[in-house]
Amino acid sequence: MSNATRREFLQSALAGGIGAFCLPANAQPTLTNIGPSGVPISISALPIPEVKFPVPVSATEENILGPYYRELAPYRAKVTPPLEPGQSLLIRGRVWDFAAKKPLSGVVLDVWQANSKGSYDNDNPKSPPASGLFHNRARMITDESGYYEFETIHPGAYQIGPEAWRPPHIHFMVRQAGFKKLVTQMYFLGDKLNKPDQFFLPSLAVAIKELKVGKEKVELGWFDIVLQKE
């Protein structure tokens, strides 16, 4: 999608309300981050797996909110600012109704994360972000098949104590009327910092597939979310 086309889409979506930001099942990713070689990279649409309830069947586990959540992040499918340094990452998934074993449309996902160096946009109280400026944060809404997708970069780890580190992770807050609000995190399977982390849960770790785009590497992960009714 060209910049002009994307701009027209966003303008029409804003005119139609936030519901217009539901991603269609054939939504095309537009990865435009800076790769390790310093060259902007992009990938075309990838096949989306069929609608099939994840196995084993279980509700997604909760995880800590953390101190860096901010309300009212913009609705968009790209979490990072344009040309954000770091390893390009595309996360996709579906949100499910645990009882009905069916996908849920219209679910609001709030996503936030650290940058590639492990810093959040609000982790320095002496230099808070400007009002309305959200780096590495976004909200999105699932489409009619429960599908969501966002573009970002692989988050960095950060130190929380003399010998304690938080492994790379992405925060999620998931809300749908009639269902319990879910606050959780997505981790990366095989990261060396997972095991010693006191908050890490194996069920939340996602396998990452690496794709080649020219000379650059793009990471792809699938994270299904299963909600319970209130």
Q: Walk me through the domains of the chain, giving residue ranges and CATH numbers.
A: 19-53+61-227 (2.60.130.10)
Q: What is the per-residue pLDDT for 26?
A: 38
* 9: three-class secondary structure by DSSP: helix
Q: What is the per-residue pLDDT for 38?
A: 53
Pair of tokens at residue 3: 């910049």
Q: What is the per-residue pLDDT for 47?
A: 72
CA nearest neighbour of 155 among 82, 85, 213, 68: 85
- In the block, which residue shows the tokens 């194996």? 202
Q: What is the mean pLDDT of each run of 10 residues along the chain (230 residues)?
A: 40 38 37 49 62 80 97 96 93 95 96 98 93 95 96 97 96 98 98 97 96 84 96
Q: What is the per-residue pLDDT for 211?
A: 87
Report how far apart, in Å, the C-alpha atoms of 221 and of each of 72, 197, 207, 218 are.
Answer: 25, 21, 6, 10
